[in-house]
Amino acid sequence: MVKAAAPSCNCSLRAVLQLEGRGMRGMQVPGRSFDAKPSTTSVMRDRLGHLQAVSSSEGAEAEHETTQVLSSTEDLHVEDFPQDSSSTNPDMETVFDESQEARRQIQYIQLEVKRLRERNLQMITGTLWTSSPNTSDSNAIAADIKIRGQDMLAHLRKMESHRKELEEMHGTNSTVARISRTQYASVSNSFRDVMLEYNEAEMSHKESCKAYIQRQMEIVGQEVTVDQIEEMLQNGQWNVFSENMVSEGKTVHSALTQIESRHTEMLQLERRIQSLHEVFLDVAMLVEEQSSMTDYIQTHVQSTEAEVKEVMVKLERAKRHDRNNPFKKLLFWKR
């Protein structure tokens, strides 16, 4: 009998302990704490607020990442990509050496054009007009530009012949042939730009001399237009300046001296331009030959840049959507 009653006692004792545990849950006892398990409603409410905060920040994050991608594509360098084995090709090295030498010569011409502009400006302002060596300096600068321009034309013809040889040896679509065409077109355009800059500097100085002569003619009492001055320059009829003078004195004498000096400078300027006439014609022919090639290269470069930017934006957008995947976030939150 005693053995049969033991299980019932154990069951009643277990039930009492369970009731006591339910009553003590959530009660505060010194030295012990009974925390209640969080309810499902509070968990759902906390998760909803987190998702709302994430969705509200998606717009600003997308705009920031798009701007960051566009700016990062502009900072790409050649070193970021694996280099082709053709970069160690002797033919490739020859192409780069030729283009580097051509660009060095173009930089020298740019420096000479800058010096010529400074000389012309000083002569127009009158700071160097009384010094005769400065006119010869301008002539020396122009002569040096002519020599360097002729050397550049010979160098460009050499690059062109080398380009044709590479196309025959490796094919028109080979890497070295395409790079050779690109370098040749780039150097030709740079040379054209610097020669046009020289021509613009001389023409600007010529117009400044005409305006100065016109002002000096007003001082001596004669009003002439720029077209009349151009006609006098072409015909050489500058003796009209000493005829029909309204006033006499030091002012008139000084004005006539300045007019004669400007006339001499304009004649020298015309001779400088005529001496470079053949160089300008050769440059124009080179640019005409390379116009179609330059347009083709520029079009493909622009389209490639646009496609790269578009791909980078789409890639970052895909990464952002992958990070904002709700299933991945839910699994990460449960962990």
**pLDDT greater than 60 at residue 180:** yes
CB 280 within 8 A of CB 199: yes
Between 112 and 57, whose confidence is greater? 112
**pLDDT greater than 60 at residue 94:** yes
What confidence tier does 107 reach under pLDDT thresholds 50, 70, 90?
very high
Cβ neighbours of residue 68 under 8 Å, at least 6 residues apart? 316
Q: Mean pLDDT throughout 280-304?
A: 65
How confident is the model at residue 23, as a pLDDT? 47
How confident is the model at residue 306, as a pLDDT? 67
pTM higher than 0.75 for the full model?
no
How confident is the model at residue 321, as a pLDDT? 73
User: 117-144: per-residue pLDDT in tens?
Assistant: 888 888 777 644 444 445 567 888 888 8
Per-residue burial over 206-226, b = 16 or more CB atoms within 10 Å of its CB, e = otherwise? bebbbebbbebbebbebebee
Percentage of the chain beyond pLDDT 90 is: 6
User: 249-261: per-residue pLDDT in tens?
Assistant: 566 667 677 777 7
Nearest to residue 38, comparing CAs of 50, 28, 27, 26? Answer: 26
| Of the ranges 61-75, 151-165, 223-237, 302-316, the best mean pLDDT one | 151-165
| Of the ranges 5-19, 51-65, 71-85, the best mean pLDDT one | 51-65
Per-residue three-class SS string for the chain: CHHHHHHHHHHHHHHHHHHHHHHHCCCEECCEECCCCCCHHHHHHHHHHHHHHHHHCHHHHHHHHHHHHHHHHHCCCHHHCCCCHHHHCHHHHHHHHHHHHHHHHHHHHHHHHHHHHHHHHHHHHCCCCCCCHHHHHHHHHHHHHHHHHHHHHHHHHHHHHHHHHHHHHHCCCCHHHHHHHHHHHHHHHHHHHHHHHHHHHHHHHHHHHHHHHHHHHHHCCCCCCHHHHHHHHHHCCCHHHHCCCCCCCHHHHHHHHHHHHHHHHHHHHHHHHHHCHHHHHHHHHHHHHHHHHHHHHHHHHHHHHHHHHHHHHHHHHHHHHHHCCHHHHHHHHHC
What Rg value do the Cα atoms of the chain yield, rounded? 42
Average pLDDT of the chain to the nearest whole number: 69
Q: Which CATH number fits domain 84-307: 1.20.58.70, 1.10.287.70, 3.40.605.10, 3.30.1330.40?
A: 1.20.58.70
Cβ neighbours of residue 234 under 8 Å, at least 6 residues apart? none
User: 304-328: per-residue pLDDT in tens?
Assistant: 666 677 777 788 887 777 777 666 6
How confident is the model at residue 111, as a pLDDT? 93
**pLDDT greater than 90 at residue 108:** yes
Between 278 and 251, whose confidence is greater? 278
Q: Mean pLDDT throughout 22-38?
A: 46
Domains in the chain: boundaries: 84-307
Least confident range from 81-90, 119-128, 222-231: namely 81-90
